[in-house]
Amino acid sequence: MEEAWQADLERWLAPYLEALGNKTRRRMCPAYIAGLIGPGDRKSIQPMAARSDALPYDRLHHFIGAGLWDSAPLEATLWNQADELVGGEGAWLIIDDTALPKKGKASVGVAPQYATALGKNANCQTMVSVTLASGEVPLMLSLRLFLPESWTSDAARMDKVGIPRHQKVYPADVQLIFPIAGRGRPRVRHVPDVKSMAAHAMLEGAKWRQVSWCKEVSWCKGAKGRLTARFAAMRVRIADGAPQRIGSAGAQHMPGEEAWLVGEHRSNGERKYYLSNLPGDTPIKALAGAIKARWVCDQAHQQLKEELGLDHFEGRSWTGLHRHALMSMMAYAFLQSQRLAQAGRKKKNPRSASPTHLASSAPGHP
């Protein structure tokens, strides 16, 4: 079975390898991804190289940390494959973050900061993720490291780990102007006719509805059966514009874009509030589905860490971390493609193995 999934991996990686060009890189890429999928508790370079004769440590380290190759064509291939597998009208594009706990302070981006998965401050790296998900199948599209101020304010520290810089500039003759009124005193600014308020206060008088279903999203498929929660939603203007002093109200943020404000009251007493840019005619069930679709994103983060070693990278550079993350996402996409292919065969042949059984045939499958 091991030879079968590795042969499938080689075929699946063909478009990625074309983008790499160089013969050595074309060998290192599938070897690295096979190392992430294969057995073993640690998925950093040294232990993966030690477990396989096909993975010489120095070449593998150079491929990830120092080799001169562009990751953009590989990312584009990943996006195209993800769209073919789970894209469509019923898919969600989910932006989230995940924390990678780290010791010390030399690894790129590591700092004491809030770790969402842990629910507390911890010494970690935080990566922002973009996931394409349909039903219970997530495909990770991109991972980018968030840099806290302790890094962005230290140019020498950023140079040491190879963080790229993007400096924005204005033309030398830029000017700041005020609107000119047609008559009377010049108008300085517009002001809103009501004060802004907290989200929970805005929803106090809204109509709350019990929402529970299992057909469209996977969040309600728990061990205790159908999960339900009370939701309320209303259209608002987000108070995120430039702050202005408005008479006795003091400094207020000006109204920004229109959006949905959604409240959720859970059965355990917990209350959550969300903003959504879905269209104004979106029904509340679809709003709740969009919110709960994030569950598969959390699941993907967990599987990438526990099974494919996303948080096992031991290098310190910006480039190395992001290339390791890309290889992890490619490995995850391959395994999801195997799962979906097996699910299709199962529908035609009820006696065939389930997707879970197929997953276990490839060592280390999430």
Residue type, 135: G
| Per-residue pLDDT, 357 | 23
Q: Sorting pLDDT into bands at 50, 70 and 90, what band is 290?
A: confident
Predicted confidence (pLDDT) at residue 143 exceeds the cutoff of 90:
yes
Phi, psi of 108 (to 5 degrees): -55, 130
- The highest-confidence range among 57-71, 254-268, 319-333, by mean pLDDT, is 319-333
Q: To the nearest whole percent, how much of the chain has pLDDT over 70?
A: 80
Predicted local distance difference test score (pLDDT) of residue 202: 85
Question: Is a pLDDT exceeding 90 seen at residue 336?
Answer: yes
Amino acid, single-letter form, for residue 284: I
Residue 326's Cβ-count burial label (10 Å; 0-12, 13-18, 19+) is buried
CA distances for 69 relative to 36, 128, 195, 245, 319, angstroms = 20, 23, 53, 51, 10
Residue linked to tokens 């108008």 = 187
d(CA 280, CA 137): 27
Check if the beta carbon of residue 125 is closer than 8 Å to that of residue 112: no
Stretch among 94-98, 106-110, 140-144 having the lowest mean pLDDT: 94-98
CA distances from 288 to 56, 88, 146, 329 (A): 49, 19, 28, 27
| Interatomic CA distance for residues 10 and 14, integer angstroms | 7
Tokens of 358: 């197929």
Q: Report whether pLDDT(179) > 60.
A: no
350 close to 342: Cβ distance less than 8 angstroms: no
57 phi and psi angles, rounded to 5 deg? -60, -45
The Cα 244–Cα 254 span in angstroms is: 7
The mean pLDDT value of the chain amounts to 81
- Say how many C-beta atoms besides its own lie within 10 A of residue 304's C-beta: 24
Mark 182-202 as b/e (b = at least 16 C-beta within 10 Å). Answer: eeeeeeeeeebeeebeeeeeb
Name the residue type at position 11.
R
- With cut-offs at 50, 70 and 90, classify the pLDDT of residue 43: very high
pLDDT tens sequence across 242-279: 777 665 666 677 788 888 989 999 888 888 888 888 99
Specify the 3-state DSSP secondary structure of 291. Answer: helix
Tokens of residue 43, six digits = 């998925």
Within 10 A of 7 (CB to CB), how many other CB atoms are there?
Answer: 10
Which of 13-27, 189-203, 348-362 ranks highest by mean pLDDT? 13-27
Cα Rg of the chain, angstroms: 25
Whether the CA torsion 304, 310, 311, 312 is positive or negative: it is: positive
| Phi (first) and psi of residue 51, to 5 degrees | -85, -10
Could you tell me if 5 and 341 are in contact, meaning their C-beta atoms sit under 8 angstroms apart?
no
Q: What pLDDT is attached to residue 270?
A: 83
Share of the chain above pLDDT 90, in %: 41
- 128-132, 347-351, 360-364 — which one is most confidently predicted on average? 128-132
Contact yes or no for 140/332 (Cβ under 8 A): yes
How distant is the alpha carbon of residue 47 from its chain centre?
A: 27
